[in-house]
Amino acid sequence: MSQADNLAPPPVETTPSFNMLRTLGLVATISGLLVVLSFRVTEPMIEQNKREAIERALFRLVPDAVSRRDFIASDNRIQPAGEGIDGEKLYAGYGQDGKLKGIALEAAAPGYQDVIRILYAYDPYCQCIRGFEVLKMAETPGIGDKIIKDPAFLMNFEALQARPNADGSGLEQAIVPVKHGTKTQPWQIDAISGATISSNAIARMLNDKSQLMSPLIQRNLALLENGA
Ligand SMILES: Cc1cc2nc3c(=O)[nH]c(=O)nc-3n(C[C@H](O)[C@H](O)[C@H](O)COP(=O)(O)O)c2cc1C
């Protein structure tokens, strides 16, 4: 026996590759199934929570409303919401007398930290925005979150003009933010000083959505009024 044979390391026991791959495959399949299962179980609950949050916000934004009906805007028309109809959702609120009291719409734009999502109330009779509720935001507490706390900022939305222009192609006047203390027009939003980015986000999302939706709502007002 040579010197080299004496120094050879003892044979190492290795896991056969096939067994290892089979175990890994099994773990991956079970993990995947668990992820899909938990998504399937929680998805309807999340959707239900979202619907309830929107409904609560609608009744706060349109206080005279006692019932609601959902509509969908797509391809430049509005129709009652139904299975398989995709598009922009409109939540119409009706009073005890069955009359249309206001319409809530969703809007979103990037804020300081992340996208801000809101539900806002459109009054088709004054052709103005009458308030909003934040559905989701991550703005800085004490700075950006003033958009829901600052009474002077909230005053902007008592009757913010969102009137369609004569040919219905957009707004007569764009909704614009202005430096704090310089608002002179009903379509201007008096921004919060020190939180210009969050204030501008609210103005931008309301303007973008209203440019399209305010004229569309006015054109389809009879349908919305008869929805109760
Ligand atoms: C830590 C930190 C957090 C901030 N958070 C916000 C915010 O949530 N929203 C916002 O508009 N501005 C926020 N700002 C301020 C902006 O950077 C910017 O200074 C401000 O929006 C400009 O407002 P002004 O033009 O009135 O000075 C934050 C600044 C710092 C340093």
| CB-CB contact of 158 with 130 (8 Å) | yes
Residue 167 has pLDDT above 90, yes or no: yes
Cα(21) to ligand 1 centroid in Å equals 52
pLDDT at residue 4 in the model: 53
Length in residues, the chain: 228
Q: Which burial class, exposed, middle or buried, applies to 34 when counting CB atoms under 10 A from its CB (0-12, 13-18, 19+)?
A: exposed
pTM score over 0.85:
no
| CB-CB contact of 87 with 72 (8 Å) | yes
Segment 172-221, tens digit of pLDDT: 999 999 999 999 999 999 999 999 999 999 999 999 999 999 999 999 99
pLDDT at residue 68 in the model: 94
CA distance 196 to 180: 9
Residue 83 has pLDDT above 90, yes or no: no
In DSSP notation, 82-148 reads -TT--SEEEEEEE-TTS-EEEEEEEEEEE-SSSEEEEEEEEETTTTEEEEEEEEE--PPTTTGGGGG
Average pLDDT, the chain: 93
Cα(140) to ligand 1 centroid in Å equals 8
Task: Output the CA–CA distances (angstroms, integers) from residue 70 to 21, 42, 52, 58, 107, in the order listed.
Answer: 52, 24, 13, 11, 16
Cα(198) to ligand 1 centroid in Å equals 8
To test the ligand 1 pocket, which listed residue (137, 153, 192, 197) has its Cβ within 8 A of the most ligand atoms?
197
Q: Is 168's C-beta closer than 6 angstroms to any atom of ligand 1?
A: no
Segment 2-61, tens digit of pLDDT: 555 566 777 766 667 888 898 999 999 999 999 999 988 888 888 888 888 888 999 999
Q: What is the DSSP letter of 15?
A: -
pLDDT at residue 44 in the model: 86
Q: Is 53's C-beta closer than 6 angstroms to any atom of ligand 1?
A: no
